Amino acid sequence: MRTGIFYYHQKGERLQDFPQALKGILEKENIFFYDAFYPSKPPSSFELEPISSEMLYQIHSHELVEEVTKTGNFEGALFSVAGTVRAAEKIWMEEIDNAFVFTGYGDHHAGTIFFGGGCYFNGAAIAIRTLRKRFGAKRFAIIDTDAHHGDGTWEIFEADPDVLYVCFCSDHYLEKNNKVNIQVPTRIIDEEYLELVRNNFFSRVMAFQPEILFWNWGYDGTQGDYGDIGLTPDFHILLTNELTGLANKICRGRLIVVLCGGSRRDLARTLIPEMIKVISEE
């Protein structure tokens, strides 16, 4: 597989070990690295292009964009969604097959007119709207395994049956217009969670036949992180294997992994390179 890594250098603890932790991966022939914003390189050499305000307004209100500007995190939020949008475009244009997107700020709590929980803009939503407009793409699936409910993504696509959104979180079961919430117990072991995904996502997405599969991947549900539900680090690698195999079956391997919640630096350092190996070698 040709794998794109979309890398925005976020200040702070969690991603401090990057990009160094990608050593041994970036050198590979099938890895394409699109970077933005890091201290050791001049800005002119960045390869990740930001997206325009018009692209943000496809999903978010002018008021929301204005509010995000006031937080002082606009640039980080913009480059975070730019990674997801550029990944989707390059996959559509067949420059790469799949992607891992580093974000500074996540996606799924950002809706049309609201944001919160470390999310400002909704990258998957903007990517979907952009592919539809530019290329006439139609059907997309998003699986969300962050520990929290993706209220923003749900709201944006509530009336859109051509986006299958399956969210695994602590909220009760709900299913409406191809938006599905699957309740995850407050304590769970790896194998039970994998079973939940197989039973509730696999058949739905196979029947749905998306053109691209997005994965809002959070690791905040791992033991010792802020959304701890008892998962071990291994869980994420196992799930990566399963979702990579699934994407190969349903949409020619077109998978975009978007980094969402999670705070532990040691987990980021070990899990992200391992996951990139899985998606690029399958």
Interface residues with Zn ion (CB under 5 A)?
Answer: 146-149, 167, 169, 171, 181, 218, 220, 261
Question: Minimum CB separation from Zn ion for residue 149, in Å?
Answer: 3
E strand or H helix that includes residue 168 = strand 163-169
**Nearer to Zn ion by C-beta: 76 or 152?**
152
| 29 φ/ψ angles, rounded to the nearest 5 degrees | -65, -30
Q: Are 6 and 84 in contact (CB under 8 A)?
A: yes
Question: Minimum CB separation from Zn ion for residue 167, in Å?
Answer: 3
**Nearer to Zn ion by C-beta: 36 or 182?**
182
- 3-state class of 36 per DSSP? strand
Count CA within 13 A, CB hemisphere, residue 183.
Answer: 6
Question: Which residue's beta carbon is nearest to the bound Zn ion?
Answer: 261
Cis peptide before 185 (omega within 30 of 0): no
d(CA 215, CA 261): 12
d(CA 187, CA 121): 30
Question: Minimum CB separation from Zn ion for residue 262, in Å?
Answer: 8
**Nearer to Zn ion by C-beta: 200 or 240?**
200
**Nearer to Zn ion by C-beta: 149 or 236?**
149
SS (H, E, C) 191-256: HHHHHHHHHHHHHHHHHHCCCEEEEEECCCCECCCCCCCCECHHHHHHHHHHHHHHHHHHHCCCEE
Question: Minimum CB separation from Zn ion for residue 215, in Å?
Answer: 14
d(CA 259, CA 131): 20
- The residue among 255, 221, 252 whose CA lies nearest residue 240 is 255
Question: Minimum CB separation from Zn ion for residue 201, in Å?
Answer: 13
**Nearer to Zn ion by C-beta: 3 or 216?**
216
| Other C-beta atoms lying within 10 Å of the C-beta of residue 82 | 26
Q: Which two tokens stand for residue 223?
A: 């033991």
**Nearer to Zn ion by C-beta: 167 or 255?**
167
**Nearer to Zn ion by C-beta: 195 or 281?**
195
Question: Minimum CB separation from Zn ion for residue 112, in Å?
Answer: 18
Question: Minimum CB separation from Zn ion for residue 260, in Å?
Answer: 6
Question: Minimum CB separation from Zn ion for residue 274, in Å?
Answer: 20
Q: Which two tokens stand for residue 91?
A: 């996959």
**Nearer to Zn ion by C-beta: 22 or 77?**
77
